[in-house]
Amino acid sequence: MATGQVRSVRVSRRVLGLILLAVGVVAIILISLAFGTRQIAFDAVVAAILDPDPSNNDHDVVRDLRVPRTIIGLLAGAALAVAGGIMQGLTRNPLADPGLLGVNAGASLFVVLGITFLGVTAASGYIWFAFAGAAAATVLVYAVGSGRRGSPTPVTLTLSGAAVTAVLTSAITLVLLSNLDTLNQYRFWSVGSLVGRDLSAVSVVVPFLGLGLLLAAIVSRMLNVLALGDDVARGLGQNVMLARVLAGIAIVILCGGATAIAGPIVFVGLVVPHIVRRFTGPDYRWILAYSVLLGPILLVLADVVGRLIVQPTELEAGIVVAFLGAPMLIALVRRSRVGAL
């Protein structure tokens, strides 16, 4: 088979994969609206969306409770998955996720400070603190990783990210231990949950997430060149500094927005890019395109599972995702060790 034909077949398969994932997103939306501690028939779900009856309790459950958490799950899942893919490409580290560059820790610290010193209690109030914390942590990691050379390497970014995360986590613990009221408010947000979030907060975050996804589409081709190494990338005419700055901005926006509305959910950004890479190969244009669809499926599915396994109560989506992601991390580590042997 000619090279052009092989390339055409690969593209066709990837497009088919995107279509199947899009169908999966629609399916998981219906499942999320129908299943929980209270089971609702699919026809009632459709009626609640298209022709709501204020006197119907099922319609109220769908529109007032499940629609908001489903929307938040879709947005946060897409943002975290794409951010994880960008991080793995930027750092050339297969174990990178939104916690690597201290983004989650920075967002969490600023939320804690907002709760403690400014009395912020509403989810909509967390947004700006999460954005500011994510941005501050990323800038700090980049500055520490740059050192005197002026341009950080993947290794220095990873090490500085781990160091900054440790410092910020210690600061969070110090504040929480000194203020019981802050601890009570923070602990529910910190586990990563889609419940109790206000759609007014979502409306504020959506434009930022849209900008972040647009930047992700722009840097996807740049990540393919960066994967060849900085020297090769420069030889091919790539502005390495510009690529890293744009990628960093996309990470801050996506992680900050997702963390603001759903809390610091882990493993979505780690697991999803690795799953899609099996079907897309190393091309980050396809990795990020697949991630923007698979991320929502994974996070909303985790939310549905959390509603069902401990009825009549619920288990937060962040905890379920951690249970799913930890085995994946172990498998990646073991595979790396086997490959090294």
Q: Would you kindly state where each structural domain of the chain is located, as residue ranges?
A: 16-340
What CA–CA distance (Å, rounded) separates 24 from 88?
Answer: 25
The predicted pLDDT at position 5 comes to 63
Residue 263, pLDDT > 90, answer: no
Contact assessment for residue 214 and residue 57, using Cβ atoms and an 8 Å cutoff? no
Find, among 313, 310, 312, 336, the residue nearest to 323 by Cα. 310
For residues 141-146, give the mean pLDDT.
Answer: 82
The predicted pLDDT at position 151 comes to 63
Which stretch of 185-194, 203-212, 258-267 has the lowest confidence by average pLDDT?
185-194
For residues 138-162, give the mean pLDDT.
Answer: 77
Residue 341, pLDDT > 50, answer: no
| Angle at alpha carbon of residue 323, lines to 318 and 328, rounded to 5° | 115
Across the chain, how many H-helices and E-strands are there?
A: 14, 0
The predicted pLDDT at position 70 comes to 94
For residues 294-312, give the mean pLDDT.
Answer: 91
Cis peptide before 273 (omega within 30 of 0): no
The predicted pLDDT at position 326 comes to 75
Residue 99, pLDDT > 50, answer: yes
Which stretch of 72-81, 86-95, 108-117 has the lowest confidence by average pLDDT?
86-95
The predicted pLDDT at position 6 comes to 61
Residue 121, pLDDT > 50, answer: yes
Give the list of residues 6+ apart from residue 287 with CB closer than 8 angstroms, or none. 85, 89, 220, 273, 276, 277, 280
- The amino acid occupying position 241 is M
- Tell me the per-residue pLDDT of 194-250, one tens digit each, with 9 for 90 and over: 876 767 778 888 999 999 999 999 999 999 998 887 788 888 888 888 898 899 899
Find, among 196, 198, 193, the residue nearest to 316 by Cα. 193
Q: Up-side HSE of residue 87: CA atoms within 13 Å toward CB?
A: 34
Residue 63, pLDDT > 50, answer: yes
Quickly state the pLDDT bin for 293 (edges 50, 70, 90).
Answer: very high
| Cβ count within 10 A of residue 232 | 12
Per the listing, tokens 């740059």 go with 146
Q: Which fold is adopted by the domain 16-340?
A: ABC transporter involved in vitamin B12 uptake, BtuC (1.10.3470)
Residue 338, pLDDT > 60, answer: no
Highest mean pLDDT among 111-120, 194-203, 295-304: 295-304
The predicted pLDDT at position 340 comes to 44
Average pLDDT, the chain: 85
What is this structure's pTM? 0.90
What CA–CA distance (Å, rounded) separates 335 from 274?
Answer: 13
Quickly state the pLDDT bin for 30 (edges 50, 70, 90).
Answer: very high
What CA–CA distance (Å, rounded) separates 302 from 199?
Answer: 20
